[in-house]
Amino acid sequence: MVSATVGRGAVLGAVVLSLLAVPARAATAEPDTAEQATLAAPDTAGVAAALRSAVTAGAPGAMARIDDHGTAYGVTRGLADRSTRRALTTDDRFRIGSVTKTFSAVVLLQLVDEHRLSLDAPVNRYLPKLLPDDRITVRHLLSHRSGLYDYTNDMFADSESGFEAVRNKVFTYRQLVALSLKKPRTNAPGAAYAYSNTNFVVVGMLIEKLTGHSVRTAYENRVFKPLKLRDTFYVHPRTTIPGRYARGYLTPGRAGAPLIDATAQTVSWAQSAGAIISSTRDLDTFYSALLRGRLLSAARLREMEEFSRVDSTTAYGLGLRRRSLPCGVSVYGHTGIVQGYYTYAFATKDGSRSLAAVATTSNNGQVQQAMWGVLDSAFCGKSAKATDRNRKK
């Protein structure tokens, strides 16, 4: 289903693992100087085709919402619930996985704006003796350059048994950090980009230490309420999603095995690295507001947009990913995986066009790949099809 709603007023607006498996490499943060091609109109037919491909590849449902200068386009395919056969709608809430990391980064950078911490100070200054190396700074956490091992590599070495072992478990932050510190660090602090959920677990600890409140309260007071995000929640350690939501299904590793309903879980193994619940509307609002400078000072936003190259199409800043599309447009946001959901949320540099999309499964590489096509059609328009044809020649 494709729908469009027009508004004349200004619109506000990664198991959690990275959607990109890339080797660690030397990383030097540089200001964002990405050039932008002329932005074509969104190709909603192309978006619908990409969502249809995701459903054909095994996702029970897939949806996307584009906000283009106040005009919203919603596209859905498939089901929100396999048992009741209810159709998916763009009003349905879902678990956003590592897209949570941008929310956490925003809160921490607001604290920098308030002179309550320094990005280049050792983490151990604020959390004494937590980490084994005083050279690890706050900036290293936010840019995935701390060298701290990602404990989820071991936790979900087997996707099904790993998930069942933790779906109802409640961890403390320190327990998660301890799991990481059982393993050697991946590199020296600042030497290389290496995606690790451990970094943003420590970010959550910093938020709670410096504010004196839970991350839930910090998210609510600093982001959810100011932006009027009516579908966005942090309910940890509760296992339920409030209100109307899409169920998420884990794809088993065994061919032919039935999908596993993974909707109910604590997400305690991720917390500030990946436990937020939201909707496509709210994610569009959030990234548009962020990139328009509504959440951070100009100085902090510039620092957030100092990117280290990850591969030929992606770079990482401070809790923010930049992706270069085939048409020459660069978009800014994050990706997320939590059991049952693949999430993609990006916007243009000026926040004038935003996209939020989700497929209601995980552990399925074909679905994951199909969903990247949503970005191309949303930001490159019909030229994305011609570019794709040229790449295949």
DSSP 8-state code for residue 244: S
pLDDT of res. 28: 62
Residue 117 pLDDT level (bands cut at 50, 70, 90):
very high
CB 327 within 8 A of CB 40: yes
Supply angle C-alpha 285, 310, 378, rounded to 5: 35
Q: Taking all residues of the chain, what is their mean pLDDT, rounded to a whole number?
A: 92
The distance in angstroms from the start CA to the end CA of the chain is 32
Q: What is the mean pLDDT of residues 276-280?
A: 99
pLDDT of res. 6: 34
Residue 385 pLDDT level (bands cut at 50, 70, 90):
low
Residue 31 pLDDT level (bands cut at 50, 70, 90):
confident
C-alpha distances (whole Å) from 244 to each of 93, 177, 232, 277 are 6, 34, 12, 12
Q: Global pTM?
A: 0.92
Report the distance separating Cα 392 and Cα 61, nearest Å: 28
Q: Which two tokens stand for residue 196?
A: 């690790």
Report the distance separating Cα 236 and Cα 364, nearest Å: 26
C-alpha distances (whole Å) from 231 to each of 178, 221, 247, 272, 333 are 33, 15, 15, 18, 19
- Whether pLDDT at 194 is above 80: yes
- Annotated catalytic residues are 98
- Whether pLDDT at 96 is above 70: yes
- Whether pLDDT at 7 is above 80: no
Type and span of the H or E element at 153? helix 152-155
pLDDT of res. 256: 86
- Whether pLDDT at 17 is above 70: no
Q: What is the mean pLDDT of residues 190-219?
A: 98
Residue pLDDT, tens place only, 356-381: 999 999 999 999 999 999 999 999 99
Report the distance separating Cα 215 and Cα 268, nearest Å: 13
| Three-state secondary structure string covering 39-52 | CCCCCHHHHHHHHH
